[in-house]
Structure formats: C-alpha cells, structure tokens
Structure 1
Amino acid sequence: MSSLIEGYNYDIFISYCQKDNKHDGWVTEFVDNLKGELESTFKEEISVYFDINPHDGLLETHDVDESLKEKLKCLVFIPIISRTYCDQRSFAWEHEFIAFVEQASKDQFGLKVKLPNGNVAGRVLPVRIYDLDDNDVRLYESVLDTVLRGIEFIYREPGVNRPLKPDDDEKINLNRTKYRNQINKTANAVRDVITALEHYDHEPVTVAKDIFKPASIPSETGKTKIVTGSLILLALIVLGFFLLPKLLKSEGEPEKTIAVLLFQNYSGDPSQEYMCNGLTNEIIGHLYKIKSFDRVVPIDYVLPYRGTDKKPSRIADELKVNYILSGNFNTTRDTVRITAHLIDPRKDKILWQNGFDQPYKRIITIPADIATQIADCLKTNLTALEKQNIERIPTTNLEAYQLIQQTKNQFNTRTYESLNQLYDLSLKAIDLDPGYADAYAGAGSMLILTGTTFQHTAMQTVIEDALKLWRKALELDQNNASAHCGLALYNDWIIWDYIRAEEEFLKAIELSPNNQSFMKGYSEFLQKRNRLEDARAYKVKAEDDPIRIDILSLVLSGEKDEAHKYLNTYLQSKKIFAGEYFIWLEDYEAAKSICEAALQKKSQSMLAPRYQACLALAYYKTNDHHKAQMIIDQLIEKSDISLAGSPEFYTGWYYSGIGKIDSAFYWLEKAYKNRCPEIPWLKVDPGFKNIRSDDRYWDLYERAGHKAYDDYRAGLKRRKSNR
C-alpha cells in the first residue's frame, strides 16, 4: 500500500516497544481503533505500517532489516511513548525514532509543517501511555528540540499510572480523559498534518528555540546549576553554535517588562467599571502566558494607580517596568470602542496603538487581540501553543462572561461581601454556559478559598467539590492553567501525592509562566519538601517576601543568631507572622509580645488555630501554664465542632513543642485521619523537632507521602549521576 503523497511508502508509521504490547495487546488494540477512526476521518484510504513483532532490545551490533528504511518513508510517525521506549539501547528508539527524525529532517517537507490555521505541527505525533521520568522526557526533547506534548492515553488514580483502556471510566480517571475521545484527537491530528502536507507551500517552517530550557525540576544545589550550565555551553561549542550572542538579547536591549494600567471608563456609565477592570485583567492574564516576557505586573500592583495623575515615567520607575499599556473603554448602544496604546514611558514614545470598534458581544475576543499585537510589537517569541491558548475563545455567552468579570473584579478590589457570593456568581455563569472552562476553574478556586487559614470553613468539606470543578474545566480545556494549579493544591494538601502535585504546579507554570500566584504556590510546595533554595528562587521571582524561607533555612541549618538579626525589622513592625518565626528561634518572649499585640488589636489572625497555638506555646515556655492550657482547651473544643483552620494539627504541634510526645501523636493522628491540609508541613516545621527521634514520627512521615517523594527525588539524582 502506498502513501497519499507520491514518493512516500506509508502515511503513518507506528513505532513501539514490544513490552508495551505483549502482555495485554494495548498497542494492537490502539492501532485497530485508530484505523477505524481514520476511515471516518479521511475520504481516502490511509496506509498504516504496524509491525506486530518489533525487534525490541536489539543493539547496534545487530542487523537491521534494510526494508525498514523504506518503510520509514512516511508522512506521520507515531511513537508510543512509554517507560521503556525512551531507551537509547532499544531498536525502536535507535532504528525507528532516531532514523525517522534524521530522514524526515532532510526530505522535502522537514519535521515541522505549517497548518492551515497558522500553527505549526510536527510530523512526529507522540502518543503517551505513561507519565515519564524527567530523564526520559529530556532525552526525547533533546532529539526534537521541542517540548514533549502529544496525545495522552494515561489512566491515573492515587498510586496508579498505566495506559488508558477503552472501558476506563473518565469520571474516576484523574486525567479525566476518555479513550474514545483520545482516539478521535489522534486521528484529527493526523488529518491536520497530512492535509497540510498535501497543500504544502514550500515555505520553510522555522521555530524559535529556547537556548536555555528550564529543567522540569529545579536544581538542588548551586553546584548542579554550574555543572548543568557548563554542559550546555560545552554542547553549544561542540555543535558549532558560535552565533549564540545573536540569539540572546543584544547589549542595551531593555527587558520585556510591562504593566497594564486600568482602562479608563469613558462610557459615562459607572456600572461598566467592572468591565474596564476586567479588560485590564484579561490582557494581563494573556500576557502571563507568554514566556519570553521577563515580567508582567499583576493587577494587584496596578490597582493603586486608578485615576492617578502620576507621569508614566514615574509609574514605570515605581513598578520597575520598561513598557506601559493603557487605554480607554466606551460603549454606545450595542457597540464597544476600545482604544489602547503601548508606550516607552522613559522616552515618552508611543510604540503601538490601535482602536477596536466592535459589537459589544465581541468584547470577549478583544483582550486576546491586544495581547498578541503587543507581543508582536515587542518582538516576543510567541510560540504556537502560547498563541493558541491566548486566542482560545473562552465562551460565546456574553452574560456568562460578564458574571466572571464581576467575580474577578470584586475579588481583586476586595469589594465582595463573602467568598460564597463570588462562588455563586461563578455557578450562575456555568448555568448560562456549561462549556465555560474558566467559570469552572474560578468556581473551584473561590470554593477552596473559603477553606484557607483565616476562613471559617474546613478545607476538607469543600475540596472534593472544587476538584470536580477543576476536572470539568480540564475536560473542556486541557490547557486551563488555573485548573492545573487547583489539582496541584489538591494533591499537595489532601491526598499527599507530592509527585503528582509537582507535575501539576509545573504544568500550570508552563502554561502561564509569568503568573505570580502559581509561582507562590509552587514556592510553598517546595518549602514543605525542604527544597528551600528552589523555593526562594520562585518566591523572589514572584516578588514576594522570602523571609519565611530565609528564617526557616537559617533555623534548620542551626544559624539562629543570623536568623535573629534578620528578624529585627519584623520585631519592630509587630507582624503576626514573626510570632511564629520567633517560636522557631525559641525566643518565646518576643513571640508572646507579637501575638499579644495582635490580640489587643483584635487581629483576625488571632482567630486562626495556627497563631492561637503559637501564643499558647509562648505562654507555656514563659511559665504561664494556665493561660497556655486555656488556649489549648479552646482549640480542643473547637476541633470537636469544626476542622476549619486545622485545630487538631496545631494542638499536636503545641504538644510537640512542650515535649508531651504521646499527646502530640494523638492529635497528629487525628489530623492525619481528617486529611488535614497542614500535614505536609510535618517534614520541615521546626516545631516537630522533639518528636523526630520517635519511630511514630517516621511512620506518619511515610503515610503522609513524604518518603515516596524522597525516594522519587533520590531516584532522579541517581539517574542524573549515572548519565
């Protein structure tokens, strides 16, 4: 059978490892289903090469069937990416995957092809059937110089990582993928590539490369960073990349740092103010998705400049940016007029400006138009995926869109009566448009915020409902970064699958690399894993105060004197967080002073079990046992009524601090059984130092997921050292 295009022997070549097929015939079943789907996708007959008996495990000394080279003359190459496929010793890797890449890169089409919609697709279409180790991912990416994405056929439950099967229930699968839909996606992807090849316009496709790609997991030490950088530099020299300076920023070129000021409301209708703010917020959200921006200022930072008469140059200095986008908003009956302009504030020079006169309902698409035009003006490296994510129309229902803008505006400006009110607005948007992924993701986020430290709802009572909303968002839009962040929090806080949590955090950051909220969330995750150097890097990038990490690092390394010096400014300001830090330093008088000051000011923070336990411990250590016991009795009473704020966990923390080991474990076990979201702090919180020599601590440590993550990290290190 020949290909649809002359000169090629097959349309599709299926490459796989025999181990992935011989047990249950997964690959054979996949190919059969794909062939059936292709029949209903193409008018023509599509030729598929699939060898039922591949030569797995052959080494380079073995003979390779010469006819295989002819069979590799195909339009689309589909590797079944598994744990065993990414192995330089295997036949499939060396003689099929590598051979196709080398062969296709030299033929008339090349490895990449421009699709009719302007996006770029590769002729290698990976099908992933397992979550892979980072080394395997890097090995694949090193061959194609692109991020491993592909179509996933992966079934996930806690502790489960296997190929997706036709009868798997997508409602139970944590990936929320359905086998039938993934087969359809594969056939559609094949159609897109082959159609593009049939209408090939002979224009070479060039894709900008990131010279220094961030590792999937940050380096453990500075030494590793130096070695990694040296290896990259050495590789560039060996490969002859002496044009490296041309690919980096030229000397004197300003960093791509930008602030989007609030659009001014020229409509004369104060009720449209939320749409002005929403327009600003949406543009910022789209710019977040562009990795080649060095910094995008969050909306929280620009809100204080509403109605300001400050000069743009001063605003730029205060926000530390090189570019400012501003504009105005006007409506007349059923139309909207939006004017925007980008300036270099220090040169007082307009770099770009445009006006958008559209029917009012088209306001949904205007922020994406502005973001892509700004990216083009500043010559950012806007990737195909970034462009696709920016231009994705979230909803066509204007009323639903307006409700979500109201929700975001009230949250950002803190003008809501309750978080439940914002949750209800999100649900109304879902009712209006059940296909609105952002509404599901937003509803999930509002729901879990009601269960955070300073609220009155237990996280455990809302997280499962939030999880359903995030899963639905990803079912509608697999690149919804907020939903991925939500799954990260669920895996970190509730089920303690830290490996999966990290995957989800990194996915969210990959999709929205300038989103400071995601960076802060990942930084906290890294703190709890005792990866403090990496945690600090993300904290600083998110422009958040890294004092907690710095103090924790000094305490854990025994440098309490340095930590004391570092805390002087916090002691002066009486910030409540410093009370906890002084507990770590065993300076109980200072801790008591700060907590009592907060109590006298009727600070809401002192309603949280976390800080009540801090004050109780400070009282106990300063010999006021009666007051300490009064607070703990209140916490114990509260734990019988509500889990909000994790009173049982902090009761255990208190008993650990005063050396009552059995009582500490009694309450920590209660926290464990309640799926307390504070349990992940068990590893690094200095308050648990008194119980770490007890076998019960290490048993709880393992049950709470820490050992599994430690083993995972150790495995990564071993594989790195063996490379």
Structure 2
Amino acid sequence: MSNQLSIDQAFINNLNTIIEDHIEDDQFGVEELAIALGISRSQLHRKLNAINGKSTSQFIREFRLEKAMDMLQDNVATASEIAYKVGFSSPSYFNTSFNQYYGYPPGEVKFRNPLNDEDVVEIPPMNDNAEPVLLKRRRFNPRTYVIASMVLILIAIISYYNFAKPETNTTSEIIDPVISSDNSIAVLPFRNMSGNPDNEAFCDGMTTAVISGLSKIRDIKKVISFTSMMNYRNSNKSIPEISDELKVHYILESGFQKSGNEIKINLQLIDGTSDKLIWSEEYEGKYDSVFKLQARVAEMVAKQLKAKITEEERTGIHKPSTKNMEAYANEVQGFYLLNSYSTKNIIASRKYFEKAIELDSAYADAYTSLGRTYSTLGTWYGNLSRKEADSLAAPYFKKALQLNPKNFQLIYSMAEKELFNWNFKSADSLINIFEQQRGKFFFSSFIDLLLCRNDEVIESTHHLLKENPDASWGYHAVLAAYAYYFKGKKESSLYVMRKGLQLAPDQNYYDHFGNIYLAMGDYEKAKDVLETGLQISDKRHASMVIHLAAVYYYLGDEGKSKELLNEVIDRANKGEPEINVFVAHYYARLGNKDEAFKWLDIAYKKHEVDMIWLKADPNLLKLKNDPRYKLLCQKVGFPETKNNFN
C-alpha cells in the first residue's frame, strides 16, 4: 500500500512540475498535459480521478489558483497581473474561478482569511418544532407593454400581481440593431486606481450610484444596468465594440481612488461610434461627501448629453440613500459580496446588510439587498424551498417598498421573485420598467427563452458569436445555446457551448450544455460534460444526475441509469426541495409519458421553481402534443402561444 501511495505521489508531483513549467501558458490544458506525459487524455483522466477524484481540467485549474493565492499573499503583483501569470486568459474568468474555489474574490486575500464553516449561517426555523436550515450552494442549474409615465411605477409595483402584457409571436431577422438613441449611455465599472483591493467594493458602489443617478433623468433615453456592465469589468474590448454590443451612443470611463478620507474620481465621456473623447474631468473630495460627488457626476454627464433635468429629478439625484457613512460602507461591501456568485459570499453578505440596517433603519437599499440574499437562496443557489425563501425575504421587500417604491434594484428583485413564483406576465412587465431606464440584460433574455421567444434571445445575444468575446459571455451563453438549438441552428449552438466552456467554465454551464448535448444525441460528449460538472460542483445537483442517468440509458448502461434515477427519487422522497421536476425530465426523455406527468404533477403541487422551464427544456419535447401538457402549461400560468419549442 505504501508503495502504491509513493507511486501515486510521484505521479502527482510530475503533474505539478509539468504544469508549473507552463504556468503562464493559457493554452496549456488537458490535451497538452497528456502529451507531455506520453499518455492519452482518457488514461490521464482515469488515473487522476482514481487518485484524488478530480478531473484533469479541475486539477490544472486548482493548481493555477493555489499558485495565484501564494502570489497574492506575497503581494508580488496586482490580481489582474497575477491572473495572466498563472495562465488565465482573462482577469474576469480568474476572478470567478478564484471566488468559487476560495469563497471570496482575489482582491480580499490580504484583508481576510477564507470563510470557515462558521460563516455558513443557519436560517432560523419557521416554528419552534422545526429544524434550522443550513444554507449550502445550489447553483442554477420589446415588448408591447409601455408605461405611460413614471407615476405608474409606484402603481405597478404595489399592484404587480395584476400586470398583463399581450403576447407576440413575431420573429425578426437576426441583424445588428442600430443604436436607438443618441441620448444613451453605458457606465463602465469604475477602475480601482488606489492599488488597494479593499476598494473594489467602493468602485462597484460608485458605478451603481452613477448609473442610478443617470437613470433618474427621463431625458436620457437609455442607461445600461449595473448587472450588464459587470460583464465588461477587465474587458479588453474597444469602446466602439462595447458601444455596438450595448447599442448606446456614449461610454463613460471612470477611475476611483480612496486613501483614508480622501477620494478622487477621474471621468472620460467618449463617443462610442467614433471613439472620440467628448469630455473629461477630475473630482476630489472627502469620503463623507461621496454622495455629493456622485450627484455631481450624474449632473455633469447629463449636461454633456444635453439632457434636461427637472427639479424633481435633481432632488432625487441629490437625495442620499443614507446619511450614515458607516451604513453606506456596510451596504457597499455586502452588495459586492452578494453579486460575487458564491454561495458563501451571499450568506456572508447578510451580516453587512443587517449592520447597515442597524445603523440606519430607513436604508431602503439595504432592505432590498437583504431580501435578495434569501430570495436567491430559494432558487439554484441554496436548499430552501420557494415558500421558505419567500417567507424570509418578504418582510425586507415590504419594508423597502414602503421606504422607496421607485427603487430600480427593488423592481429587479421583485421581477425575479415573480418569475420564480410562475407569475410570468408580472415578471415580464416589471422587467420592462427596468429595461426602459437600464437597457436589456440577461434576465429579460431569460424570460424570452422561457416564453419561447427564441428570435429575441438570439438577437440580444448575437454578439457572442464574435471573435474574442472574453468577459461579455456570462449566462448569455446558456440562453443563446438553447435558443439556437430550438431554432434548428445546431452549429451555432455547438459554437456557443464550446466557447462558453472555454472562456467561462462554470458548473451551471456543464449542467445546461450537457443537457443540450443529450438533446442533440451526442451522448459521449454529454457524458463527459456532465461528469466533469459533477466533479467540480460542491454538491450533486439533481438536474445533472438526471441528465446523466438519461445519457447512460442511451449508451446502453441501463443499470447505471437506474442507479442514478433512484438516487434522485430517493432524495425527493426524503423531502429535498425543488427536484421532483427532474425525475419527470428523465421519464419524458425516455418517452414514458404517464410517469413523466405523475412527477410533473408532484412538482406542480409543490410549486417547484424549475416548472418555469416547462416550455424551454428539450427533455420535455415528447410531451408537447399531449393534452395533459397543454393543460399543465395553463395551470402553471404560461401565456398562450401558437407554438412551443419553436
């Protein structure tokens, strides 16, 4: 046994040496490592998996991340520079991978230790006899309605259950739409010029504040959302490329520097169509005057865009979200963690929002964000049922609504909540309000996909097919891959999946892309993608297990297929929330309609989130001509459409 351990350790040491010799080569991957060892990829994968249960790509990635951690702790360079030094093709992908592996972004290495088990927070039980719930990671696995005036925003939110939007089934030619208005702008994420990674959160706070201020000015026709702009953090794309993709005329580039109580902001307003500098300015001030600076920036940019500002709008721009600077600092830090796509960070962000509320009980943004932490963990990021998540989030959303019903972050959060509760028209309408000021982004494309508006999905994600897309992919790749598949554009779907896994690999991608490969009948590729996804995931996602069960069935291994199916059925019978729908997917895929509808009925009665995929999951294609399918779609609340899976 000791001899075997020695042989295995020697093999691992050899791998480490080879990878370290090529550490800066972002093209050095599984194929290159196998060649260097003189064995096949499959041999390398089997041997490594037998030793430590890891895939080869996971082993390489973790080796690079651990080297990066050493460099960050030794402060040898900035996080972006280190990303390239350890072989990552883009800092954004490095940040995402580092965050997933260590539980916090690379910028926080010098200021905190990795989150320990005590940071995993228990949600209090709903009653005295219930057990507390331990939050763990569970990843995810225009319109014709026009608001007549901003006054209706208040009415829309308070009565959002009553929204209705006529459905359209028109398709559009897939072409680059022209920039719709000269009076449109995107604010690039503020650059951290201080060299202190701890200021990354403040940079995001400045970006959010300027976007929010500009969005309050009705005469500015389009302001791209913060969520969409985060795709361009560390992007190497040119200003004209970004302008073309976002369909805006102007781009605001900014830098933020903070040293003690002193802050400095550098601004450059650029014509996105010509790449010409229109205006630049520098502001300096004290940190406790940051709200005045944010308002000043919004006003000066609006002036350059020749946008008129009413007195009401000016008052709104200058009204600070809080007068307590310590509360603001906590909210900014919490918001930064909440948007990191790490379950531990989402949980950890709650203490910052709770502290912000403790310091300022009228801080609407903090209530909204705290509600989002619970609501998010009721989907693919946690193990809460939708009912539990809504119950925990509701008081915070209610309080935020009372304090500031026109808050766009609240509108977005409530749109999410409505969608996950099957209220498609309400979600669609609320997102329309958001889009009118913030521009189109992935969530609206997600709704398009769920409602079979595949042409609109493709139109909004067409730029993904351009060369060197780097950070702009994000979850758009998943939406585009499905939309191209349903439109019969197999090669485009394959291209998007290959690029998605190459540029921004994520367990969520492996789940969805494995599902699409399964639908295409490429079972070996589906098996490889899904097994890799399970290996890099921090839990066994029921959707991936079920997809893999179907793959094994078609590969002729019915024993393995049944074993995986029974695993998920057993978990469902033991009360694991939100997974009955996946058992239905298995039976639907195999053509057993009666069993499929039996499990769909269970999922319907439990109000499972993933029922929103009823019209957009290829596993359910064989059910679409069954009268029971149409009836179920009506019961779930889907708007009527002529065709499904179109």
State the TM bucket, normalised to the shorter chain. 0.5 to 0.7
Cα distance in 2 between the residues matched to 1:570 and 1:691 = 26
Check conservation: 1:592, 1:615, Cα contact below 8 A: yes
Q: Name the structure 2 match of 1:652.
A: 584
Q: Does 1:614 align with 2:547?
A: yes
Q: Name the structure 2 match of 1:149.
A: 152
Unmatched tracts of structure 1, length 5 or more: 1-133, 162-215, 230-246, 715-723
Q: Name the structure 1 match of 2:572.
A: 639
Q: Does 1:710 align with 2:636?
A: no
Q: Does 1:582 align with 2:509?
A: no
Residue 501 of structure 1 aligns with an amino acid whose one-letter code is A
Q: Name the structure 1 match of 2:398.
A: 471
Deviations along 1:641-699, whole A, 9 cap, x unmatched? Answer: 4545x221101111111122222122212211211011121123221122334333233
Cα distance in 2 between the residues matched to 1:696 and 1:416 = 37
C-alpha displacement of 1:453: 2.2
Say which of 283, 288, 292 aligns to 1:355.
283
Cα distance in 2 between the residues matched to 1:414 and 1:225 = 31
Cα distance in 2 between the residues matched to 1:439 and 1:221 = 41
Q: Does 1:521 align with 2:415?
A: no
Check conservation: 2:482, 2:493, Cα contact below 8 A: no
Unmatched tracts of structure 2, length 5 or more: 1-142, 245-249, 465-471, 503-508
Cα distance in 2 between the residues matched to 1:692 and 1:521 = 25
CA change 1:429–1:254 in 2 (3 A) is: closer
Q: Name the structure 1 match of 2:234.
A: 304
Say which of 503, 519, 533 aligns to 1:598.
533
CA change 1:338–1:487 in 2 (3 A) is: same
Residue 592 of structure 1 aligns with an amino acid whose one-letter code is K
Check conservation: 2:450, 2:612, Cα contact below 8 A: yes
CA change 1:222–1:348 in 2 (3 A) is: closer
Cα distance in 2 between the residues matched to 1:148 and 1:157 = 14
C-alpha displacement of 1:151: 7.2
Cα distance in 2 between the residues matched to 1:538 and 1:248 = 14
Deviations along 1:594-614, whole A, 9 cap, x unmatched? Answer: 223434xx2218722222211
Say which of 246, 262, 265 aligns to 2:191.
262
Cα distance in 1 between the residues matched to 2:207 and 2:416 = 27
Q: How does 1:226-375 map to 2 (within 5 A)?
A: 256-265=185-194, 274-287=201-214, 291-293=220-222, 298=228, 300-301=230-231, 303-304=233-234, 316=239, 319=242, 323-331=251-259, 336-344=262-270, 351-358=279-286, 360-375=287-302
Cα distance in 1 between the residues matched to 2:563 and 2:202 = 50
CA change 1:386–1:535 in 2 (3 A) is: farther
Check conservation: 1:460, 1:676, Cα contact below 8 A: no
Deviates more, 1:146-155 or 1:427-436: 146-155
RMSD over aligned Cα, in angstroms?
A: 4.2
CA change 1:649–1:384 in 2 (3 A) is: farther
Identity value in percent = 20
Residue 661 of structure 1 aligns with an amino acid whose one-letter code is K
Check conservation: 1:528, 1:681, Cα contact below 8 A: yes
Check conservation: 1:258, 1:324, Cα contact below 8 A: yes
CA change 1:589–1:157 in 2 (3 A) is: same
Check conservation: 1:609, 1:650, Cα contact below 8 A: yes
| Paired residues, number | 473
CA change 1:654–1:300 in 2 (3 A) is: same
Q: What secondary structure is seen at the aligned counterpart in 1 of 2:280?
A: strand
Residue 326 of structure 1 aligns with an amino acid whose one-letter code is S
Q: Name the structure 2 match of 1:493.
A: 420
Cα distance in 2 between the residues matched to 1:384 and 1:658 = 63
Residue 357 of structure 1 aligns with an amino acid whose one-letter code is G
Check conservation: 1:368, 1:391, Cα contact below 8 A: yes
CA change 1:217–1:539 in 2 (3 A) is: farther
TM-score w.r.t. the length of structure 1 is: 0.57
Q: Name the structure 1 match of 2:47.
A: none
Q: What secondary structure is seen at the aligned counterpart in 2 of 1:353?
A: strand
Cα distance in 2 between the residues matched to 1:638 and 1:664 = 17
Q: What secondary structure is seen at the aligned counterpart in 1 of 2:405?
A: coil
Deviations along 1:70-112, whole A, 9 cap, x unmatched? Answer: xxxxxxxxxxxxxxxxxxxxxxxxxxxxxxxxxxxxxxxxxxx
Q: What secondary structure is seen at the aligned counterpart in 1 of 2:609?
A: coil
Q: How does 1:81-120 map to 2 (within 5 A)?
A: none
Q: How does 1:401-420 map to 2 (within 5 A)?
A: 401-412=328-339, 417-420=344-347
Check conservation: 2:253, 2:269, Cα contact below 8 A: yes
Deviations along 1:340-392, whole A, 9 cap, x unmatched? Answer: 3325498885713142434x433234223212212212334667776565444
Greater radius of gyration (CA): 1
Check conservation: 1:265, 1:273, Cα contact below 8 A: no
CA change 1:547–1:154 in 2 (3 A) is: closer
C-alpha displacement of 1:490: 2.1
Check conservation: 1:454, 1:607, Cα contact below 8 A: no
Deviations along 1:494-538, whole A, 9 cap, x unmatched? Answer: 2x222222222222223x423x6xx31122112111122233444
Deviations along 1:152-207, whole A, 9 cap, x unmatched? Answer: 4998596799xxxxxxxxxxxxxxxxxxxxxxxxxxxxxxxxxxxxxxxxxxxxxx
The structure showing larger relative contact order (alpha-carbon pairs under 8 Å, at least 6 residues apart) is 2
Q: How does 1:534-613 map to 2 (within 5 A)?
A: 534-539=456-461, 544=473, 548-553=478-483, 555-556=485-486, 559=488, 562-564=489-491, 566-568=493-495, 570=497, 573=501, 576=510, 577-599=512-534, 602-604=535-537, 607-613=540-546
Q: What secondary structure is seen at the aligned counterpart in 2 of 1:265?
A: coil
Of Structure 1 and Structure 2, the greater helix share is in: 2
Cα distance in 2 between the residues matched to 1:563 and 1:638 = 34
CA change 1:390–1:615 in 2 (3 A) is: farther
CA change 1:217–1:257 in 2 (3 A) is: farther
CA change 1:272–1:256 in 2 (3 A) is: closer
Say which of 493, 507, 532 aligns to 2:454.
532
Residue 710 of structure 1 aligns with an amino acid whose one-letter code is E
CA change 1:271–1:623 in 2 (3 A) is: closer
Cα distance in 2 between the residues matched to 1:536 and 1:347 = 27
C-alpha displacement of 1:225: 13
